[in-house]
Structure 1
Amino acid sequence: MDLINLSQAKVFGGWHKQYQHTSTVLNCDMRFAIFLPLKATPASPVPVLYWLSGLTCTDENFMQKAAAFQKAAELGIAIVAPDTSPRGEGVPDDPDGKYDFGLGAGFYLNATQEPWKKHYQMYSYVVDELPELIEAHFPVTSVKSIAGHSMGGHGALTIGIKNPDKYVSISAFSPICHPSIVPWGEKAFRHYLGEDKSSWQQYDTISLINQYPVTTPILVDQGDADGFLHEQLKPETLQAAAQTHRVPLTLRMQPGYDHSYYFIQTFIGEHLAFHAQHLNQHSA
């Protein structure tokens, strides 16, 4: 599979690079970014943290705003950030042009409904196609973790929980914890998956915790000044489900913080250290 290098910049001794490739899963050209620390060489490959961004974002938001590279370089972790949805000519968008559905809002699921299902297969892209591509072309190992913000926090939690053999740790900032009962999730799930709400449960963190034993360690940070906290995010549902089922979850409510990348910048170092601990355990 051909990779087109769109840009590259040296940072903290390593490299941030942006690539385009043709996705057979999504039936369009896709873009992703990768940070490779100085320690990453063919003779000494490094583990990978996959980062999933939120509504309206691309591969660029986290890489430019999260201030993650210095700590990742120090820890010897690669970071991969895919786009948040398929894009391009012929990829359908929200008919009303709203930000919370369609382009930029793939919700990390596999759509089953027309006209979405041809392109909106972000679950399979993140879990299968992208890691295969990354591991084939870059000096990284198959040991990986997953993290994300908001819609991407939802993606990280659901993907990590459903694939305990693939990800050694999970973290999230401000995740949509219970998408099947909040406006963002209801809108997306109804369009992508149809009216049968039983089909929604495979992409709902709370439903997954209620169905499957979860042993993967999880770290979640949520700002208590987040404007989306009560209507869209509902971290209390995650805390309750995790307590009931003894999930290894650390949920931290952070006073005064909102939904922005200033919040992510503040705690991203702690998230990277959390992942490094588990990545290194499994790399030994």
Structure 2
Amino acid sequence: MERIEHRACFGGWQDVYGHRSEVLGCDMRFAVYLPPQAAKKPVPVLYWLSGLTCTEQNFITKAGAQRYAAEQGVALVAPDTSPRGEGVADAEGYDLGIGAGFYINATREPWARHYRMHDYVVHELPALIEAHCPVTNARAVSGHSMGGHGALTIALRNPGRYRSVSAFSPIVAPSQVPWGEKAFAAYLGDDREAWKAWDATELVQTASERLPLLIDQGDADEFLRTQLRPHLLKTAAEAAGHPLTLRMQPGYDHSYYFIASFIGEHIAYHAAALRS
């Protein structure tokens, strides 16, 4: 780990690190906010997964989350959204390739060599954080849009690993919307049965752990009806008896203004679960 940024923030420290990822086969960056409580004892961690086109910077500069993390005594970890660098496959457009890892493990070339963001977020990154930072192994996960998809699927695929999960404007059914169909066809191939392993609406139907899902969705979101379609997850969760709180927030769009408006509530939600 090489520390690239180190800034005092709400009594704690907002850092950015670089490291060589063995899972992804490239150099990666991630952001870590350590609240003031971490100077005295290890603290639990909330992992934040950002959306299409983002890096580790978007959340730490736009969400205003550090204030609430300092109040609650929770560390924040925000990785990049995809592998990057020389030799990493890319494509034209913002919704495939660099900046669009979708938090899955690709199986189709040329993507399979580097695009293993699920394993990076679930295994390699936490191992690095827990070995080098004053944190516990109590984990929560959240995210926005593509990152909301990532948070939901990662929690559903890894029972017992996370104390809580939430999402803002998530892509809940990537197998049924253009963003997901484009990415999954490229990363996983044409077998739609294989896509189900990375689709929250499919996973919730057979989840072995009833971890409650908290979702905030703006009703003025420009992608609501074409790409997000939260009612599909709500219907599947109700049929499976899986606890889901879907809060439709009037007037809010897809932007970080929306995230900043409710991130304090999400961090408090996670902090309560992480303390339990």
How far apart are the structure 1 equivalents of 2:124 and 2:118? Answer: 10
How far apart are the structure 2 equivalents of 1:117 and 1:178? Answer: 22
How far apart are the structure 2 equivalents of 1:119 and 1:246? Answer: 37
Which residue of 2 is the match for residue 87 of structure 1? 84
Q: Is 1:240 the counterpart of 2:270 in the alignment?
A: no
Answer yes or no: is the 8 Å Cα contact 2:159–2:208 preserved in 1.
Answer: no
Q: Displacement of 1:249 after TM fit?
A: 1.2
Runs of 4+ in 1 over 4 A off after TM superposition: none
Q: State the Cα RMSD in Å.
A: 0.7
Answer yes or no: is the 8 Å Cα contact 1:55–1:104 preserved in 2.
Answer: yes
Answer yes or no: is the 8 Å Cα contact 2:160–2:209 preserved in 1.
Answer: no
Which residue of 1 is the match for residue 201 of structure 2? 206
DSSP-derived class of the 1:202 partner: helix
- TM-score, with length taken from structure 1: 0.96
How far apart are the structure 1 equivalents of 2:224 and 2:115? Answer: 27
Q: Is 1:73 the counterpart of 2:77 in the alignment?
A: no
Which residue of 2 is the match for residue 254 of structure 1? 249
Counterpart among 14, 22, 47 of residue 20 in structure 2: 22
How far apart are the structure 1 equivalents of 2:78 and 2:245? Answer: 24
Answer yes or no: is the 8 Å Cα contact 1:224–1:257 preserved in 2.
Answer: yes
How far apart are the structure 2 equivalents of 1:146 and 1:208? Answer: 17
Q: Is 1:136 the counterpart of 2:131 in the alignment?
A: yes
Q: Displacement of 1:133 after TM fit?
A: 0.2
- Cα offsets for 1:94-149 (capped at 9, x unmatched): 1xx20000000000000001100010000000000000000000000000000000
Amino acid at match of 2:136: T
Q: Displacement of 1:213 after TM fit?
A: 3.5
Q: Is 1:61 the counterpart of 2:62 in the alignment?
A: no
Amino acid at match of 1:154: H
Identity of aligned residues (%): 61
Counterpart among 5, 10, 15 of residue 7 in structure 1: 5
* Structure 1 unaligned blocks of 5 or more: none
How far apart are the structure 2 equivalents of 1:82 and 1:185? Answer: 21
DSSP-derived class of the 1:167 partner: coil
How far apart are the structure 2 equivalents of 1:240 and 1:232? Answer: 16
Answer yes or no: is the 8 Å Cα contact 1:213–1:245 preserved in 2.
Answer: no
* Structure 2 unaligned blocks of 5 or more: none
Q: Is 1:49 the counterpart of 2:46 in the alignment?
A: yes
How far apart are the structure 2 equivalents of 1:107 and 1:78? Answer: 23
Q: Displacement of 1:210 after TM fit?
A: 1.4
Answer yes or no: is the 8 Å Cα contact 2:6–2:14 preserved in 1.
Answer: yes
Q: Displacement of 1:165 after TM fit?
A: 1.1
Alignment of 1:144-159 (within 5 A): 144-159=139-154
Answer yes or no: is the 8 Å Cα contact 1:168–1:217 preserved in 2.
Answer: no
Q: Which moved more, 1:235-244 or 1:24-33?
A: 235-244
Q: Displacement of 1:214 after TM fit?
A: 3.9
Alignment of 1:26-45 (within 5 A): 26-41=24-39, 44-45=41-42
Q: Is 1:166 the counterpart of 2:161 in the alignment?
A: yes
Q: Displacement of 1:164 after TM fit?
A: 1.9
